[in-house]
Structure 1
């Protein structure tokens, strides 16, 4: 009991120190991530009645860190783990207290998405690989996101506006892929590598690890609408957003 109180006091001091660090350097994703980690550790040793509030505060710090640096894999992974822990806690307590709360299944799914995103950014990290094996079955497979974007013809990003077409795209933790028809979407996961390569040559495909940054953009070369610019190691790609922030959320995790 005494040891627990001492440990609790240590982590409480740590959270206050990290809070001060963020106040001094509010745009530091590392400081926010450290604050979230300290809160996560504190949540593991406080009384049960205090735990969820601290956990949700930790979640907000990890998300704030990711908003400052969308490819900050440590914060992305930590967010996945804290969401997983929250799902476990809610499951043990018998489910959400009210209809407004997120269900354990949804939390598990969110956790899996963030862990998969961290793994996509750092596929050689053994910790991420092990965690992904644990949560892979919880991913909303075969795709994390499915929706429509208005895009130029393949290989012609400066095509006339009249040539830009609205088409379906799918996103998983490996690739953002343009899909030509519902049947292709359903059968794509089971296609051979050769068949996938053939599809890739005739459609837009971006490997997630090749993405450098994602941002909203407004450019006279784009048709009217809300623009989304994905900067890759092969150069920038711009599309129109057709469904609000659906793709921004998928490619750049946020609240």
Structure 2
């Protein structure tokens, strides 16, 4: 049984970024281009034009699109003859080459998809040399490298290309950290790399991929692709752990917990995008791994209901469940009351009344980590509601991350008007 990750996010358009261009050209040093390097650039430009001119397109729509791309390439070539340091022209020309590669017929050998992508990579490299802050160039350069890696399958050459792609995604995120698409693609590149590297290197790369997908959905919680991809990478990690016999030590989460959390992300992705067949198919495989009729079931340390600032000694570890409606504390009935005769009406046989914590999803204002030193130590989750704050302690920081994501995702699904889809999954 396998679940495939979704593709990288699409390339950006050919629009110019004024801020990046101004920052990139604010250089006091001499031009890096000598007369010789300008001549080399002209030769490369001619070679790139020949490649683009030889692309025909697989159908009428592709041929029409290719004519537009060819015209654009000639414009950028002319712009670079006038100004070899025009980083916008280099960047847009690289985009043209990259889109032309998508137009190449699968059975074409001249030009090949690889040759167009390689030429695009050269243009991106030149553009970033001139304009080191052009994050879109690093982002699309990484996509082009990834496409080249895919052509090579699971080879050593592909491994090196995936590593190069991750470095460019990293650079793009360093320049613009507020980019969930770049983080998602970075995670995908790491996921692909993990399938090629030696086993001893794999887990570290997989853990890093998990962090990238989580960072993406932290920035954009309705980002269904990153949500789904996070589910797939956790599923793969669970498969690997199952093969080696479970967790290496008691502090690690078990494969069953990983499978369950994987199913949560895949279910959430399906709820956010119910018509996407990839998510529908994956959900059929993992739905049984959910703690039905709940989305999530686990333990949190909580204060007495109605008293979020109770003494530390009054906080108790208890079971909590999450569904499309809210988060509910499950109060376990003490065994001695369970053993009493159920036929008796005597008051002393009734279980004690204990109020349970309940948080309705529509009442949530925010969910975040909390570092208040007045609270018990540990991975503290703060749920701010219209009725006031609620603080809960997870058993570990990894489990904290999962509770945080699950509650935020359920709220996002509610805010998007898709709670009925989620309800249909778990009930």
- For 1:42 and 1:91, the matched residues in 2 are separated by 21
- For 1:13 and 1:170, the matched residues in 2 are separated by 43
Gaps in structure 2 of 5+ consecutive residues: 1-151, 307-318, 333-357, 369-381, 395-399, 410-427
- Indicate yes or no: 2:406 matched with 1:250: yes
Q: TM-score, normalised to structure 2's length?
A: 0.40
Per-residue deviation, 1:89 = 0.7
Question: Pairwise mapping of residues 1-255 of structure 1 onto structure 2 (< 5 A)?
Answer: 4-143=155-294, 144-145=296-297, 171-172=322-323, 174-176=324-326, 215-216=366-367, 228-229=384-385, 240-241=389-390, 243=392, 248-252=404-408
Residues 154, 196 of structure 2: 8 Å contact kept:
no
Secondary structure of 2:205's match?
helix
Residues 322, 328 of structure 2: 8 Å contact kept:
no
1:11-52 Cα offsets, whole Å, 9 max, x none, are: 111111111111111121111111101000100111111111
Secondary structure of 1:243's match?
strand
Residues 191, 233 of structure 2: 8 Å contact kept:
yes
Higher relative contact order (CA 8 A, sep 6+): 1
Count of residues paired in the alignment: 198
Per-residue deviation, 1:71 = 2.0
Flag the structure with larger Rg: 2
1:134-188 Cα offsets, whole Å, 9 max, x none, are: 001111222125899989xxxxxxxxxxxxxxxx99532x443889x99xxxxxx
User: Over aligned residues, Cα RMSD in angstroms?
Assistant: 3.5
Secondary structure of 2:392's match?
coil
Residues 150, 239 of structure 1: 8 Å contact kept:
no
Cα distance, 1:177–1:59 mapped onto 2, change above 3 Å: closer
- For 1:138 and 1:105, the matched residues in 2 are separated by 8
Which residue in the other structure is 1:161 paired with? Answer: none
Secondary structure of 2:259's match?
helix
Which residue in the other structure is 2:114 paired with? Answer: none
Cα distance, 1:138–1:169 mapped onto 2, change above 3 Å: closer
Per-residue deviation, 1:228 = 2.4
- For 1:204 and 1:3, the matched residues in 2 are separated by 47
Cα distance, 1:55–1:169 mapped onto 2, change above 3 Å: closer
Q: TM-score, normalised to structure 1's length?
A: 0.65
Cα distance, 1:250–1:21 mapped onto 2, change above 3 Å: same
Task: Report which of the two has the higher share of strand.
Answer: 1
1:43-77 Cα offsets, whole Å, 9 max, x none, are: 01111111111001100111111111222111111
Secondary structure of 1:140's match?
coil
Secondary structure of 2:366's match?
strand
